[in-house]
Amino acid sequence: MTMNIFQQEFKMHTRSVITWSLGLTALILLVVSLFSSFAQDAALLNEMMDNFPEQLLTAFGMTGLDLATILGYFSLAFLFVQIFLALQAANYGFSLVSVEEREWTADFLLTKPVGRTRILTSKLLAALSALAITDIVVWASSFFSVSMWAGDAAYDTSTFLLLMASIVPFQLFFLAVGLVVSLLVKRIRNVTPYAMALGFGMYVLSVFGDMLGESALEKITPFKHFEPNYIIQNGAYDLPLVLISVAVIVLSVVGSYLLYARRDIPSAV
Amino acid sequence: MSVIQVDNLTKYYGKARGIVDVSFHVDEGEIFGFIGPNGAGKSTTIRLLLSLIYPTSGSATIFGKDCIKYGPELRRDIGYLPSEVFYYDRMKVIDLLKYSASFYDKDCTDRMHELAELMELELNRRIEDLSYGNRKKVGIVQGLLHRPTLLFLDEPTAGLDPLMQRQFFQLIREENRRGVTVFFSSHILGEVQRMCNRVGIIKEGSIIEIADIRTLQQNNYKKVRVATGDPADVEGVAARFDMAGVTNLQQHNGTVRFFYKGDINAVIHRLGELTVSDVTLEEPTLEEIFMHYYE
């Protein structure tokens, strides 16, 4: 790692980290603050949900969900948090190297006396720090809101911690896959459509997987590997699926280093 | 000692030709001109030497070391001024220059301010607000602040006004006097002619000539212009010079012009037999030689 590159990269992430963190905090606080008024009518709601078609519930990962409990309720909100976390991480992954090539600053950086491996490591660590800050903010606002508005509703702390911890590998998946894809294509002109496609695409896959009862699809998407509903109901991760995520992360990172080391940097003219 | 040694370097982008079988060397302390039209492979060659891209085959050494394997180490002493200059936009000029300086083990502050003053660069402006010419100045200062001993200039003057161009050339000459080797790529022949000791001419990805700039001008061609006393004689005069070694024979407004290659006495001899009102014998500009290669 090279300290000056890390600092520069981290500085370029600051604005984005603040925006994502504030947005996610607002979302979490808003949804959880509604829990107490929700819980009063929870019995009614659960009854109503029983009348919903089974497919609809599965589509939204709500089967067996008990909205009367704070964790059951929270896991519903958490699905949205996950979507945003996925978009953020995918965005960082796709732009990590491609931004430089789009704005031609790669010429500047790569003609300095630093090797490519060290450049990539510095950039990766800067992105990881940015994601870590977001994760810490998400943890803080989740703990705060749940302990604030859970009322008397008891919940299992270790399950809650498991759920919170899952966002780290969850984001790593999108960061790593975004990065390796950006290195497999020749040039990315705009990062947003790629990040959206990866983030929402994985979400849609998990929805379809549920609806069609297709278990092959759930092997691909981290929305399944770290499904909040599963974690809350079982008090554990679905280990084989989590291992798939870990394998994808490792392969993507190793692949990225290999691809970047041999990459031809496109020129401006 | 050769500072740059290129052996049979070839680069294909997929199926598209970059450069083919390029070999040349650049000696320590010289200004080597690299000329050719856009798309001939000038930038490709420089990018290969800086290992921004990797060769399909062949190899190159800088300071006697492989330019890929020892890339990071070699780049400590290399300054690069790219043809298009874009930098991290939200940064101020001074921030970018400090960032650039932070990559080198030495203190570059004094040199940085010296260069900025010389190029009349405002340090506190945001880079995104700068004009193309001013960005180019940022590129110049950034490429020189660590006192490199080898400089790569890729179309360095595009966007600079004439006054700044002169300032820039003076700067490069001074660097060269200190012993800095310069690899100067350009399609503007006048500036190459003024600056360089030797030139390599590249056409469609291949080197077609490497020569000392004086040899290129002296040994090859003379540009001859003969004004006849009587415009009616033009045809006759032109006919007299229709001889071996003469090319581009033109007549216009009572004047005959041509290029001549060979023993100059043959021309002098024929001139002696004529009555003329004016004669000039001069070395062709590089541009004229160049056009000859591209015909």
| pLDDT class of B294 with cuts at 50, 70, 90 | low
- Give the Cα separation of A64 and B263 in Å (integer): 101
Which of A35, A36, A90, A69 minimizes the C-alpha distance to A223? Answer: A90
Residue where the block lists tokens 């298009």 = B84
Are A112 and B75 spatial neighbours (Cβ–Cβ below 8 Å)?
A: yes
Q: For residue B25, what pLDDT is reported?
A: 94
B235: CB partners within 8 A, 6+ apart: B251
Higher pLDDT, A73 or B89: A73
CATH class for the domain made up of B220-294: alpha beta
Q: Do A267 and B52 touch (CB under 8 A)?
A: yes
Q: Do B100 and A112 touch (CB under 8 A)?
A: yes
Q: Is residue A269 part of a domain?
A: no
Q: For residue A64, what pLDDT is reported?
A: 65
Chain B CA closest to residue A7? B99
Q: For residue B58, what pLDDT is reported?
A: 94
Beta bridge partners of B140: none
**What's the domain range around A83?**
3-261
Are B198 and B210 spatial neighbours (Cβ–Cβ below 8 Å)?
A: yes
Chain A CA closest to residue B49? A111
**Percent of chain B beyond pLDDT 90?**
44
Q: Compare CB distances from A112 to B47, B89, B103 and report the shortest one's residue.
A: B103
Chain B interface, mutation test: which of A8, A12, A102, A267, most B Cβ atoms within 10 Å?
A: A267
Q: Is residue A179 part of a domain?
A: yes
Apex CA A226: angle with CA A49 and CA A144, to 5°?
75
CATH 3.30.70.920 positions along chain B are: 220-294
Element (H, E) at B238: helix B234-240
CATH 3.40.50.300 positions along chain B are: 2-217
Q: Compare CB distances from B87 to A105, A112, A267 and report the shortest one's residue.
A: A105
Chain A CB contacts of B72 below 8 Å: 113-115, 118
Q: Do A107 and B82 touch (CB under 8 A)?
A: yes
Residue B118 identity (one-letter amino acid): L
Q: For residue B97, what pLDDT is reported?
A: 92
Instruction: Phi first, then psi: give them for residue A51, nearest 5 degrees.
Output: -85, -15
Q: Is residue A170 part of a domain?
A: yes
Element (H, E) at B263: none
- Give the Cα separation of B38 and B81 in Å (integer): 17
Find the helix packing angle between A157-165 and A70-102, rounded to 10°: 10
Q: Which two tokens stand for residue B234?
A: 């033009």
Q: For residue B1, what pLDDT is reported?
A: 75
Distance from CA of B233 to the nearest CA of A (A): 51
CATH topology of domain B2-217: Rossmann fold (3.40.50)
Chain A CB contacts of B82 below 8 Å: 104, 107-108, 268
* ipTM entry: 0.83
- Give the Cα separation of B41 and B207 in Å (integer): 10
Which of A60, A69, A94, A242 minimizes the C-alpha distance to A167? Answer: A242
Element (H, E) at B214: helix B213-218
- How far are the Cα atoms of A213, B30, B94 from residue B1, in angstroms, in the given order? 72, 11, 37
Are A162 and A231 spatial neighbours (Cβ–Cβ below 8 Å)?
A: yes
Chain A interface, mutation test: which of B19, B50, B52, B136, most A Cβ atoms within 10 Å?
A: B52
Q: What is the mean pLDDT of chain B?
A: 87
Total number of residues shown for chain A: 269
Q: For residue B33, what pLDDT is reported?
A: 93
Q: Is residue A43 part of a domain?
A: yes
Which of B130, B119, B79 minimizes the C-alpha distance to B101? Answer: B79
Q: For residue B183, what pLDDT is reported?
A: 96
Q: For residue B288, what pLDDT is reported?
A: 73
Q: Which two tokens stand for residue A214?
A: 């297709």
Q: For residue B63, what pLDDT is reported?
A: 95
Would you call B206 helix, strand, or coil by DSSP? strand
Q: Compare CB distances from B76 to A103, A113, A269 and report the shortest one's residue.
A: A113
- How far are the Cα atoms of A24, A131, A244, A248 from residue A87, in angstroms, in the given order? 12, 12, 20, 18
pLDDT digits (tens, 9 = 90+) for A72-103: 888 888 888 999 999 999 999 999 988 887 76
Q: How far apart are the first and last CA of chain B?
A: 35
Distance from CA of A6 to the nearest CA of B (A): 11
Which of A215, A221, A268 minimizes the C-alpha distance to A248? Answer: A221
Residue B84 has pLDDT above 80, yes or no: no
Would you call B88 helix, strand, or coil by DSSP? coil
Distance from CA of B103 to the nearest CA of A (A): 7
Are A195 and A178 spatial neighbours (Cβ–Cβ below 8 Å)?
A: yes
Would you call A216 helix, strand, or coil by DSSP? helix
Q: For residue A61, what pLDDT is reported?
A: 63
DSSP 8-state symbol, B126: B
Distance from CA of B193 to the nearest CA of A (A): 24
Chain A CB contacts of B83 below 8 Å: 268-269
Tell me the H-state helices in A103-214. 105-110, 116-149, 157-165, 167-184, 191-212
Would you call A14 helix, strand, or coil by DSSP? helix
Distance from CA of B73 to the nearest CA of A (A): 6
Q: What is the pLDDT along chain A (269 residues), one digit of tens a residue?
A: 789 999 999 998 999 999 999 999 999 998 888 877 777 777 777 777 777 777 666 666 666 667 777 888 888 888 889 999 999 999 999 999 888 877 678 888 999 999 999 999 999 999 999 999 999 999 999 988 888 877 666 778 888 899 999 999 999 999 999 999 999 988 888 889 999 999 999 998 888 877 776 677 778 899 888 988 888 888 889 888 899 999 999 999 999 999 999 999 887 65
Residue window 25-84, chain A: list those with CB within 8 Å of chain B: none
Element (H, E) at B153: strand B150-154
Residue where the block lists tokens 């809650």 = A160
Pairing, β B31-35 against β B198-203: parallel
Chains A–B, number of C-beta pairs less than 8 Å apart: 68
Q: For residue B155, what pLDDT is reported?
A: 87
Exposure of B76 in the CB half-sphere (CA atoms within 13 A)? 8
Distance from CA of B216 to the nearest CA of A (A): 30
Q: Is residue A149 part of a domain?
A: yes
Are B245 and B261 spatial neighbours (Cβ–Cβ below 8 Å)?
A: yes
| pLDDT class of B286 with cuts at 50, 70, 90 | low
Chain B CA closest to residue A117? B72
Provide mean pLDDT across the span B211-224: 76
Higher pLDDT, A189 or B43: B43
Q: Do A12 and B88 touch (CB under 8 A)?
A: yes
pLDDT digits (tens, 9 = 90+) for B129-157: 888 888 889 999 999 999 999 999 998 88
Residue window 248-267, chain A: list those with CB within 8 Å of chain B: 262, 264-265, 267
Q: Do A113 and B72 touch (CB under 8 A)?
A: yes
Chain A interface, mutation test: which of B96, B99, B141, B183, most A Cβ atoms within 10 Å?
A: B99
Distance from CA of B86 to the nearest CA of A (A): 6
- Give the Cα separation of B151 and B80 in Å (integer): 6
How many distinct structural domains can be found in chain A? 1
Q: Compare CB distances from A264 to B53, B75, B87 and report the shortest one's residue.
A: B53
- Give the Cα separation of B159 and B182 in Å (integer): 20
pLDDT digits (tens, 9 = 90+) for A220-262: 899 888 988 888 888 889 888 899 999 999 999 999 999 999 9
Distance from CA of B79 to the nearest CA of A (A): 8
**Cβ burial A157-172 (10 Å sphere, 16+ → b, else e):** eebbebbbebbbbbbb
- Give the Cα separation of A225 and A244 in Å (integer): 8
| pLDDT class of B293 with cuts at 50, 70, 90 | low
